[in-house]
Amino acid sequence: MWVSQCGEAQTTNSRKGITMKKVTKKTVLLAMLAMGMLAFSGCHTAHGFGQDVKQAGQKIEQSTE
């Protein structure tokens, strides 16, 4: 361990830095995966909502005839 010019203690162990990079990459990957899953499920939900609106519109047309 050594002290930088700012007075903060820093380690010289490069293995710790590599481990943090791996953890950060995994965290970012998991976050992106979760957002992708939400986006795909949202598209499916929007598609279903569109079908519901279409059916409602057809019912309204039928009732006016």
Higher pLDDT, 64 or 16: 64
Higher pLDDT, 61 or 39: 61
DSSP 8-state symbol, 36: H
In the structure, what pLDDT confidence band is assigned to residue 23 with cuts at 50, 70 and 90? Answer: confident
> Quick one: pLDDT at residue 20?
73
Report how far residue 14's alpha carbon sits from residue 1's, in angstroms, rounded to the nearest whole number: 12
HSE-up of residue 7 (Cα within 13 Å, Cβ side): 0
**8 A C-beta contact, residue 4 and residue 10:** yes
The CA-atom distances, in angstroms, between 51 and each of 5, 38, 43, 46 are 64, 20, 12, 9
> Quick one: pLDDT at residue 18?
63
